[in-house]
A = this chain, B = another copy of it.
Amino acid sequence: MTLRRRDLFAMPAAVLAAPAAATSLSLNEDNSHWFFTRAGQPVTEESVASFVDQYAGTQVRELLLSANSQRTSFASKVWDPIWKGYDPSAPDDQPLFRSTAPEARAGGRKWVHTAWSLAQRGIDPYRLWIARARRHRLSPWISMRMNDLHNVDDPDSFMHSGFWRAHPEYRRVPWRSTGRHTVDWRDRAFDFSHAAVRDYHFRLIEEYCERYDFDGLELDWMRFGFHFRPGRELEGGALLTGFVRRARALLDQWQKRRGHSILLGARVPSRPQTAISLGLDGALWARLGLVQFLTITPFWASIETDLPVELWRRLAGDRVILSAGLELLLRPYHSYSPLQFNTLETVRGAAASLLSRGADRIYLFNYMDSQTAMPDLENYPALLRECGRLDTLAGKPRRHVVTYSDTWAPGEPAASQLPRTLAANEWASFRLHCGPRLGDAKLRLELEDCEIAEIRLNGEMCRPIQGEAAPRPGPARGFHSWQAPPVEGVAVIDLQAARPGRIHWVEIAGV
């Protein structure tokens, strides 16, 4: 579909509010973390609500409360709540948890039990959090996971809805999604080309609107990002655009009832062509005025430091709040091991780069206050107070790390810069974006065998330095480091191998 000029003038009123000039953070609280981590604690309405207090006075503007995966963490009347089938008096091997590995049952039960006991007492944590967020001038949102696939390799898992279990014919890749073993979890996603699937999900949207007074509703299409039969995504995408339009129309009605504007958001894949090819045409939804908040993001396997923000802005237009989604993990490439996590310095790097490229928000996913959290959790308060604005990032040490994209449409050729194997005397180039001017820049490589003859940053020679610290995240074998000239924006590293070998990690760090 081609956008014509008339489309630009066919936008609903909600869109005409330009994005706030000041950038800030958006934070996603997932649908299980609080219930797991607060299990067994004495609970009052105040103790529930006070969870939100830690975000008051930070750069967090939107607090996006994820309230469902296949089941809801509240007492839904239209979907199965997480405690459906739970017997609080029975042991951990009760039917609900029987398919769960014995060592995982007690953990799963924590979520279920906490949510169940709140419901028993008539406490709705989402209502409390929304109210507390408003009191702190945070903007409360509900985030709805549109196709969550946790545990689908276990069809009997306590996490699954009756609707999903009852309708294998609604799955995305039906010819590969029966039996206990599956080629790929994503084969078992709902196929949104079925009207029954769309309607089933729309009922939860309606319930959210009725139940909660939020500033915005996010449709999280990135849990898990695959919603159509391979090859049918463009037709599917047209159906989704209709679905998003229906959601926007519903919010238009609720805006009148609530007396304030209600935004619609969407989380979509990180690169425009992939998003379109997966039927998740967020740029079109923004241009049509259907969504007012668009988050571009990898799925989960790694933060994606090189999100093409400028391209999204051109495609999605100036009126949408364009939000750059971070994930907690950090990998230079998919099979890199061991698994590592972002820390304050790598988040600063990603945030500085993405804000300088025009993102209106840095969106934190899986950056929660415990368990699923930064390993340097002592820096969490600083992260919440620094990483949403360039002025608060200025002058602080940051790291720009080459990572990769973890989401591609079926058949789309997938690429990553790393690892890179080099013959003797061979040249290689790497590319990363360093945000605003970075002084005292250090170029760091993880080398296996390889020895570097010459290395340049944007054409300028770099000088080897010794005795640099070995920061985390980082390679167990440590870095080789070079002093680089100051850099701003795009950095291209050109290097020549003196001895053959492999490069596994590339970063530029500085202040």
Which A residues fall within an 8 A CB radius of B? 1-5, 8, 173, 175-176, 183-184, 229-234, 271-273, 276-277, 283, 308, 310-311, 313-315, 318, 358, 404, 409-417, 427, 429-432, 456-459, 489-494
Contact = CB atoms under 8 A, between A and B. Distances in A.
B183 A427 contact: yes
A251 to B, nearest CB: 25
A404 B413 contact: yes
A420 B3 CA distance: 36
Contact of A231 (B276, B411, B458): B458
A415 B415 contact: yes
A431 B410 contact: yes
A138 to B, nearest CB: 28
Question: A-B pairs with the 6 shortest C-beta distances?
Answer: A411-B431, A231-B492, A415-B415, A231-B458, A413-B415, A411-B429
Given A310-B2, A410-B431, A491 B417 contact: no
Contacts of A417: 411, 413
A406 B404 CA distance: 20
Nearest to A5: B8
Nearest to A404: B413
Given A404-B413, A411-B430, A417-B413, A314 B283 contact: yes
A311 B2 CA distance: 9
Q: Which of A411, A412, A458 has the most CB of B within 10 A?
A: A411
Given A311-B273, A404-B413, A431-B412, A229 B490 contact: no
Contacts of A1: 310
A313 B313 CA distance: 15
Contacts of A283: 314
B234 A489 contact: yes
A429 B410 contact: yes
Given A175-B456, A231-B458, A414-B415, 13 more contacts: A173-B459, A175-B459, A230-B494, A231-B457, A231-B490, A231-B491, A273-B308, A277-B490, A315-B315, A409-B431, A410-B492, A411-B431, A411-B492
Nearest to A506: B411
B427 A176 contact: yes
A231 B427 CA distance: 15
A400 to B, nearest CB: 13
A416 B491 CA distance: 24
Nearest to A283: B314
A3 B231 contact: no
A458 B229 contact: yes
Contacts of A413: 404, 415-417
Contact of A229 (B8, B410, B415, B459): B459
Contacts of A431: 231, 277, 409-412
A462 to B, nearest CB: 12
B230 A458 contact: yes
A175 B8 CA distance: 48
A170 B427 CA distance: 21
Nearest to A402: B411
Contacts of A415: 413-415
Given A415-B415, A494-B410, A429 B313 contact: no
Contacts of A459: 173, 175, 229-232
B234 A490 contact: yes
